[in-house]
């Protein structure tokens, strides 16, 4: 029996019951920064399908991951628990080793009679190394556990490794391929479409994980052609940008600081390749959304689009992830739900990816585990201007370093502990939205520093 929530007056119109249980299409793009999407204001990136989803739902402008690395972030939002609880703080462990009995988000739907379907990267998947395998994908979460196939850097076509000294999976490598059908994201979209056809009359939770724009940047040449190098602008940083950043930061990012040793021409190629991978992913999303509409399923399906974390594109000379600064911690997040009262609106309240689990459970009228760390976003779908939480937290923990970040309405605070040393960063977003000036040592910010220390 499906448990449906009829407390519309308490939870708002976004939770209004339908004749059938609400379906969920949960889409996760890998390594996608919000700054590289049209609906978030990028001047040249073409992402029409993500943009159309934003017009049909709510775009969250200040959504934050709990860990800026694939496995820890995914284990966190799929369990609804923070990394200190899942114990997944690298790309190796399985969360079941630490919390074996926990009911994950897709598992909750599975336990309540839904088809819980995975196609692509949901939990951690090494890209490119374990694409097409089901390693780490947690069989207990799914009724169907699918691993689309892709040739990745071995795809036919012309390409280049811009950082040949760096290992696969981090190296800035691209391939212009003539054949979209060789790619995991194309296969994932095909499989998702087939599931929608098959289960159009059954309740489903469809987890669709795209591996792009994660490196290697592989896409048909037509997507590269959308971005002539002459139109691409490099990120500009002040000459002294790194002078007030603790030295531990660049030591924590040994391969991805200082532009990964790429010259300006190589950085332009990297940006073009990243943009091309985004547009290719966006087209695969579009094929799935068109099927959802063709089958008449949109009116009864909650659609979530998000990334697992952000990504640097040269800010502070950083590329990729694993920093605690805004570009790495902030994620794109769009939710479109049946019966929500407002559409095409922007929510600027602070939200976290741990909030997704209780949100989807609430919209479907399912009772989630009581130990979840997030809080439902349902009220924000009806009223995007409503306050949500006072702070969003992201961490970066290694055996040698403990990094913690807190994002509040107007500040970002970062605390690093390594050995007996403590280093701090504080950024005033009212004056410095790009976090170029660390004001942690300035006397006029002493009260804010003390306040944020208590929040970490």
Q: Quick one: pLDDT band at residue 416, thresholds 50, 70, 90?
A: very high
70 noted as active-site residue: yes
CB 386 within 8 A of CB 340: no
Long-range contacts of 410-419 (CB under 8 A, 24+ apart): 411/448, 411/452, 412/325, 412/326, 413/440, 413/449, 413/452, 413/453, 413/455, 413/456, 414/324, 414/325, 415/453, 415/456, 416/246, 416/248, 416/249, 418/248
Mean pLDDT value of segment 431-456? 98
Q: What is the pLDDT of residue 16?
A: 46
pLDDT value, residue 356: 98
- Residue range 308-317: mean pLDDT, rounded: 98
DSSP 67: B
Q: Which CATH number fits the domain that encloses residue 154? A: 3.40.720.10
With respect to residue 412, please indicate whether it lies within any of the assigned structural domains.
no
Q: How confident is residue 92, by pLDDT bands cut at 50, 70 and 90?
A: confident
Instruction: Specify whether 312 is catalytic.
Output: no
CB 85 within 8 A of CB 372: no
Distance of CA 177 to the CA centre of its chain: 26
Collect all residues with Cβ–Cβ distance below 8 Å to 82 and sequence separation of at least 6: 66, 76, 354, 373, 393, 395
Calculate ∠ Cα 201-207-213, nearest 5°: 135
pLDDT for 149-179, tens place per residue? 999 999 999 999 999 999 999 999 999 999 9
d(CA 240, CA 74) in angstroms, rounded, equals 35
pLDDT, the chain, mean: 95
According to DSSP H, which parts of 100-154 are helical?
A: 105-111
Q: Is residue 219 part of a domain?
A: yes
Residues 6+ positions from 167 with CB-CB distance below 8 Å: none
How many residues can be counted in the chain? 456
Query: In this structure, what token pair is assigned to residue 313?
Result: 């594109």
| Tally of structural domains, the chain | 1
Phi and psi torsions of 185, nearest 5°: -70, -35
Q: Which domain holds residue 141?
A: 8-390
- Assess if residue 211 is contained within a domain: yes
CA 47 to chain CA centroid, Å, is 16
Domain membership flag for residue 318: yes
Tokens of 108: 């909750």
Other CB atoms within 10 A of residue 258 CB: 15
- Would residue 442 count as lying in a domain? no
Residue 217's DSSP bridge partners are: 174
Provide the pLDDT for residue 397. Answer: 87
Percent of the chain residues past pLDDT 90, beyond the cut: 93
DSSP 398: -
pLDDT value for 14: 52
Question: Within a domain: residue 411?
Answer: no
pLDDT, mean of residues 336-347: 96
Asked if residues 274 and 313 have their Cβ atoms less than 8 Å apart, the reply is yes
d(CA 236, CA 233): 9
pTM, two decimal places: 0.95
Report d(CA 327, CA 68) in Å as an integer: 10
Choosing from 65, 70, 309, 452, which is the catalytic residue? 70
Residue 116: which of 148, 149, 140 has the closest Cα? 140
What is the model's pLDDT at position 398?
Answer: 81
Q: How many CA atoms lie within 13 A of 274 on its CB side?
A: 27
Give the active site residue among 39, 65, 124, 195: 124
Return the pLDDT at 399.
Answer: 80
Q: What is the mean pLDDT of residues 5-27?
A: 62
79 lies in some domain: yes
User: Tens digit of pLDDT for each residue in 174-218?
Assistant: 999 999 999 999 999 999 999 999 999 999 999 999 999 999 999
* Mean pLDDT value across residues 61-88: 98
The arithmetic mean of pLDDT across residues 289-308, rounded, is 98
Whether the per-residue pLDDT at 18 is higher than 60: the answer is no
User: Is the residue at 253 inside a domain?
Assistant: yes
pLDDT at 11 over 80: no
Check residue 2 and give its pLDDT. Answer: 41
Which residue(s) pair with 402 in the sheet?
397, 417
């Amino acid at each position: 029996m499906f448990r449906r929530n009829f407390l519309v007056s308490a939870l708002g119109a976004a939770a209004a019951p339908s004749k059938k249980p609400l379906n969920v299409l949960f889409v996760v793009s890998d390594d996608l920064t919000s700054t590289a999407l049209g609906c978030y204001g990028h001047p040249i990136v073409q992402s029409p399908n993500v943009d159309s989803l934003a017009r049909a739902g709510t775009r969250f402008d200040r959504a934050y991951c709990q860990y800026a690395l694939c496995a820890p972030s995914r284990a966190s939002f799929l369990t609804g628990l923070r990394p200190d609880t899942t114990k997944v703080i690298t790309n190796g462990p399985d969360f079941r080793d630490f919390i074996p009995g926990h009911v994950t988000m897709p598992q909750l739907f599975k336990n309540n009679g839904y088809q819980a379907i995975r196609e692509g990267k949901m939990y951690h998947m090494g890209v490119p190394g374990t694409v097409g395998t089901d390693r780490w994908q947690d069989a207990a979460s799914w009724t169907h556990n699918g691993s689309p196939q892709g040739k990745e850097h071995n795809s036919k076509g012309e390409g280049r490794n811009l950082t040949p000294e760096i290992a696969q999976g981090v190296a800035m490598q691209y391939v212009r391929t003539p054949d979209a059908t060789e790619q995991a994201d194309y296969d994932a979209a095909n499989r998702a479409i087939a599931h929608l056809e098959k289960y159009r009359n059954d309740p489903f939770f469809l987890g669709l994980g795209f591996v792009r724009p994660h490196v290697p940047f592989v896409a048909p040449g037509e997507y590269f052609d959308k971005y002539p190098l002459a139109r691409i602008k490099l990120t500009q940083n002040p000459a002294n940008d790194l002078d007030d950043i603790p030295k531990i930061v660049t030591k924590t990012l040994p391969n991805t600081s200082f532009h990964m040793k790429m010259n300006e021409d190589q950085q332009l190629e990297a940006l073009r390749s990243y943009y091309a991978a985004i547009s290719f992913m966006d087209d695969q999303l579009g094929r799935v959304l068109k099927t959802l509409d063709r089958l008449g399923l949109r009116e009864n399906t909650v659609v979530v689009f998000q990334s697992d974390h952000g990504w640097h594109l040269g800010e502070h000379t950083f590329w990729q992830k694993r920093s605690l600064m805004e570009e790495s911690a902030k994620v794109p997040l769009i939710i479109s739900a049946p019966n929500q009262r407002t559409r095409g609106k922007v929510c600027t309240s602070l939200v976290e990816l741990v909030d997704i689990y209780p949100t989807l459970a609430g919209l479907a009228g399912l009772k989630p585990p009581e130990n979840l760390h997030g809080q439902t976003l349902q009220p924000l779908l009806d009223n995007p201007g409503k306050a949500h939480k006072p702070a969003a937290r992201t961490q970066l923990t290694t055996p040698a370093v403990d990094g913690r970040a807190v994002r509040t309405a107007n500040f970002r605070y970062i605390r690093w502990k390594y050995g007996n040393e403590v280093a701090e960063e504080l950024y005033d977003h009212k004056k410095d939205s790009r976090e170029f000036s660390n004001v942690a040592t300035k006397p006029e910010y002493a009260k804010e520093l003390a306040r944020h220390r208590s929040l970490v």
